[in-house]
Amino acid sequence: MSIIFQTVLTLIQALLPNLGGNAALVQKILDALIQIVPVLIQEYNHLLPIVKNIIETLQGNDATTEAQLIALQELDAQVDAAFDDAAAKYDAEGNLIAPSS
């Protein structure tokens, strides 16, 4: 995964406690996310739904946040299933136990 994407996520995480009522901060986060969307479309398509959900949550109001919560739980299921498949290829010591398909 692009180091830029991970850095952006880490920054967002650090800024979250200051979000409440800070419209300028929300806008800056949105600007950063919107800027990386073209890169995601080109190379990291599977990350788009995550970024889309963050953007829609930040842009929305309390009512739309509830819709984003439901969307997040659907994303959870997809992300977890993909991780389970990947993790199943390794044992507890990190040795590869199954050939990759």
Which residues here bind other proteins, judged by CB under 8 A? Answer: 1-3, 5-6, 9-10, 12-13, 16-17, 19-20, 43, 46-47, 50-51, 53-54, 57-58, 60, 62, 65-66, 68-69, 72-73, 75-76, 79-80, 82-83, 86-87, 89-90, 92-96, 98, 100
Contact 53, 75 (CB under 8 A): yes
Cβ 86 to other proteins shortest distance, Å: 4
Cα gap 101→79, rounded to integer Å: 18
We find the least distance from the C-beta atom of residue 87 to other proteins, in angstroms, to be 5
Q: How far is the CB of 79 from other proteins (least distance, A)?
A: 5
Long-range contacts of 22-31 (CB under 8 A, 24+ apart): 26/58, 29/58, 30/55, 30/58, 30/59
Task: Supply the minimum distance, in Å, between the C-beta of residue 45 and other proteins.
Answer: 11
